[in-house]
């Protein structure tokens, strides 16, 4: 009895010792934030209101807004296109949206003018798109296929089936030479982006759908429906996981990969861990709804977007 009481006290003291942080700033966007990237100190946010908003992260000023054409839903009503995936390279912006027709996707490129690369007539069910370079786009299909789209010729250079499980997410590594794909089975596949060749299969830590992944410094973080925040070493294929108490919807690695963020409780708090020791370093409190994206700008500054119109800015050097 005394031993149990002492253990409970120690656990509570450890929990209290973890510093808690509130957001230092909130960016209000039009619509629900569905996807977000940080490129060249510009935060690009895609919403379900049919447009993207780009913000300078020095002063949080909006520097660009690009709207997509409205679509028609299954009832024939005109509605905004829900943007599921965004990216930026140089002055080019990428926007993937639903089309309202048969579950097929629209893919747009903006480089001063808006160009449609993929439309419903192409009958493609693409869930995520990212630039590999200024001339090529990596695509993740619903059926867990990876494809590389050549922009100039508007054709796929390859399309490979990674597994029979439904696609969830992919993440490129820093030089965009490799990408890790996740799916509903919990198995992760690492591919070469240039060829589509599968170079590593990561499995054993997640036993259910992996909602989100990140990939930095040969380390992969995986946010699982099984309440496990997994960390894999890509070179060895081995790793371990941090047990959460709720579905883990989002994750991100810091640039050094020494820190990992997981959204791992029902309050939508973001927990920051040391990737080597798995010790909890901080808790970010204040998110209002289910997290979609977490991004580390550096080792102390983070951005997060959830299913609302608030994008949060966090600083691990500034407690509130």
Choosing from 128, 144, 161, the residue where a domain stops is 161
Q: What is the pLDDT at residue 317? A: 87
Same domain, 32 and 156: yes
Strand, coil or helix: what is 6? Answer: helix
Q: What is the pLDDT at residue 158? A: 98
Choosing from 161, 180, 196, the residue where a domain stops is 161
Same domain, 214 and 310: yes
Q: What is the CA radius of gyration of the chain?
A: 20
Same domain, 31 and 128: yes
Q: With contact defined as beta carbons under 8 Å apart, do 146 and 138 qualify? A: yes
Measured CA to CA, the distance from residue 157 to residue 277 in angstroms comes to 42
Q: What is the pTM of this model?
A: 0.93
Identify whether 2 is part of a domain.
Answer: no
Same domain, 137 and 33: yes
Identify whether 102 is part of a domain.
Answer: yes
Same domain, 131 and 213: no
Q: How many residues does the chain have?
A: 320
Measured CA to CA, the distance from residue 292 to residue 230 in angstroms comes to 17
Measured CA to CA, the distance from residue 222 to residue 230 in angstroms comes to 5
Which residue range is the domain that position 105 belongs to? 27-161
**Residue 163: φ, ψ to 5°:** -170, 175
Distances from the Cα of 138 to the Cα of 52, 78, 179, 293, angstroms: 20, 30, 9, 19
CATH number at residue 117: 2.130.10.10
Measured CA to CA, the distance from residue 93 to residue 278 in angstroms comes to 36
Closest to 272 in 3D by CA, of 257, 72, 105 = 257
Number of domains in the chain: 2
Distant-in-sequence, close-in-space partners of 266: CB < 8 Å, separation ≥ 6: 245, 246
Q: What is the pLDDT at residue 319? A: 63
Q: Averaged in consecutive runs of 10 residues, what is the pLDDT profile of the chain (320 residues)?
A: 47 65 96 96 97 96 96 85 97 94 93 96 97 98 98 97 97 98 98 98 97 98 98 97 96 98 94 97 94 97 96 86
């Amino acid at each position: 009895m005394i031993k149990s009481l002492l253990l409970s006290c120690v656990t509570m003291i450890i929990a209290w010792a973890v510093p808690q942080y509130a957001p230092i700033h909130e960016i209000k966007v039009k619509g629900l934030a569905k996807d977000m990237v940080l490129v060249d100190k510009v935060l690009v946010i895609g919403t379900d209101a049919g447009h993207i908003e780009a913000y300078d992260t020095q002063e949080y000023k909006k520097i660009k807004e690009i709207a997509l054409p409205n679509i028609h839903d299954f009832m024939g009503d005109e509605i905004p296109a829900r943007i599921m995936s965004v990216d930026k390279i140089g002055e080019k912006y990428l926007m993937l949206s639903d089309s309202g027709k048969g579950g097929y996707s629209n893919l747009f490129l903006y480089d001063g003018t808006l160009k449609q690369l993929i439309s419903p007539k192409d009958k493609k069910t693409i869930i995520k798109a990212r630039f590999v370079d200024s001339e090529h786009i990596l695509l993740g299909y619903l059926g867990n296929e990876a494809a590389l789209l050549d922009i100039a010729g508007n054709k796929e250079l390859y399309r490979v089936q990674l597994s029979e499980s439904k696609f969830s997410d992919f993440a490129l590594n820093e030089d965009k030479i490799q990408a890790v794909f996740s799916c509903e089975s919990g198995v992760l596949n690492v591919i070469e982006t240039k060829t589509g060749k599968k170079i590593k299969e990561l499995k054993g830590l997640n036993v259910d759908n992996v909602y989100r992944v990140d990939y930095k410094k040969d380390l992969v973080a995986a946010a699982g429906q099984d309440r496990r925040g997994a960390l894999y070493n890509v070179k060895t294929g081995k790793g371990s996981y941090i047990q959460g108490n709720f579905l883990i919807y989002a994750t991100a690695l810091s640039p050094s990969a020494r820190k990992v963020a997981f959204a791992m409780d029902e309050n939508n708090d973001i927990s920051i861990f040391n990737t080597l020791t798995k010790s909890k370093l901080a808790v970010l409190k204040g998110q209002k709804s289910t997290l979609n994206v977490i991004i580390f700008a550096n080792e102390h500054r983070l951005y997060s977007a959830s299913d609302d119109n608030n994008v949060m800015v966090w600083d691990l050097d500034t407690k509130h």
